[in-house]
Amino acid sequence: MEFVNTESNLSLLYHKAKQSFEKCIRNDENQFLKDELRMPFDDIVVIEKDIKIVFSKGVFEQYSIEVCLLLSVGNNEVGRYLYIENDNNEAIDDSLVLY
């Protein structure tokens, strides 16, 4: 188990999260999201919030990495996107919450 906290590694994680967010909102199966947001996705500004390393009780040799992006339009925060990958750098989950 090793996580290297370097600027390039953190940038890569944010980049992967942003790509995953774009894939999520462009997916044909998620077209209903446009109705929930009530504005074009192109108006959204993605803001890098934080990266967390999460360990589970009893399985200390494995961890997940959670990358949080805030979604903003103008001065209003309109949602949050969470990208999660395992300790093998594989995407395992994501979550989009619109306010």
pLDDT at 1: 53
Helix (H, G, I), strand (E, B) or coil at 39: coil
**pLDDT, the chain, mean:** 90
Going by pLDDT thresholds of 50, 70 and 90, the confidence category of residue 41 is confident
Comparing 19-23, 25-29, 44-48, 64-68, the range with the smallest average pLDDT is 25-29
Give the residue among 75, 81, 76, 73 at the shortest CA–CA distance from 98: 81
Report DSSP state, residue 28: G
Q: How far is CA 27 from the centre of its chain?
A: 16
Q: What percent of the chain has pLDDT over 70?
A: 97
- Kindly compute the dihedral angle of the four CA atoms of residues 85, 25, 96, 90, in this order, to the nearest 10 degrees: -10
Q: Do 81 and 40 form a contact (C-beta atoms < 8 A)?
A: no
Alpha carbons 40 and 43: distance in angstroms, whole number? 6
Q: Is residue 12 a contact partner of residue 89, using CB atoms and an 8 Å limit?
A: no
Instruction: Quickly state the pLDDT bin for 82 (edges 50, 70, 90).
Output: very high
Q: Does the pTM of the predicted model rise above 0.85?
A: yes
